[in-house]
């Protein structure tokens, strides 16, 4: 199946076998998204917050019907550029965040973010919403919450000819380390409480 972004570029998903290699130790094969989804289910079940992964809007343009009961999507396009990965409500405030992983031990490339996501974070912050990014360094299994206002500063620095990544030292300084737990696995709302409440 071929999926395209609104600009026509072909979407290439990560290969499953490559992803599993990155998580053979420490995280037992779980991805950041899976961990966050489990954490959000815990928050929902315990009436702490309502936060969901946003579905990706896809326009299907070519379907093959080899059998009556088995439709195969052959070609699809992303309808519109997506905003961020997660949104919802916590303690009466709108919460909106992006989740990113990097194999690098020393930085996260800003090319992992898209201009429409940065604009969306700006809009959320301008309306007094809570917006941030959760970053996992997959090699070291470290997870950080970086407030949206700092991501915007690093993005602006890049646009003005500065470095094209956020150094791990900068994330250590401006971000907040999130320890891996049991229930919830990634208790990012504990950090949100420290920053915003």
Query: Residues marked as binding for Mg(2+)?
Result: 83, 85, 98, 117
CA distance 162 to 179: 31
Q: How many CB atoms lie within 10 A of CB 8?
A: 7
Residues in binding site: 83, 85, 98, 117
Comparing CA positions, the residue from 50, 161, 63 lying closest to residue 110 is 161
Tell me if residue 158 falls in helix, strand or coil: helix
CA distance 194 to 134: 15
Q: What are phi and psi for residue 150, nearest 5 degrees?
A: -75, -40
Tell me if residue 40 falls in helix, strand or coil: helix
Tell me if residue 37 falls in helix, strand or coil: helix
Q: How many CB atoms lie within 10 A of CB 188?
A: 24
Query: Which residues fall within 8 angstroms of residue 36, CB to CB, at 6 or more apart?
Result: 53, 85, 86, 99, 134, 186, 188
């Amino acid at each position: 199946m071929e999926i395209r972004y609104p600009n026509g570029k072909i979407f290439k998903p990560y290969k499953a076998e490559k992803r599993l290699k990155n998580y053979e130790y420490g995280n037992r094969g779980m991805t950041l998204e899976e961990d966050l989804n489990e954490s959000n289910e815990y928050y929902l079940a315990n009436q702490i917050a309502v936060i969901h992964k946003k579905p990706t809007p896809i326009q299907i343009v070519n379907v093959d019907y080899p059998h009556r009961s088995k439709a195969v999507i052959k070609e699809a396009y992303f309808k519109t550029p997506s905003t961020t990965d997660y949104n919802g409500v916590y303690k009466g405030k709108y919460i909106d965040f992006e989740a990113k992983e990097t194999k690098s031990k020393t930085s996260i490339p800003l090319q992992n973010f898209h201009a429409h996501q940065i604009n969306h974070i700006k809009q959320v912050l301008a309306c007094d919403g809570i917006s941030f990014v959760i970053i996992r360094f997959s090699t070291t299994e470290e997870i950080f919450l970086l407030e949206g206002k700092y991501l915007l500063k690093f993005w602006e620095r890049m646009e003005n000819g500065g470095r094209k990544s956020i150094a791990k030292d900068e994330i250590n300084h401006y971000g907040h380390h999130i320890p891996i737990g049991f229930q919830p696995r990634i208790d990012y709302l504990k950090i949100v409480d420290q920053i915003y409440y």
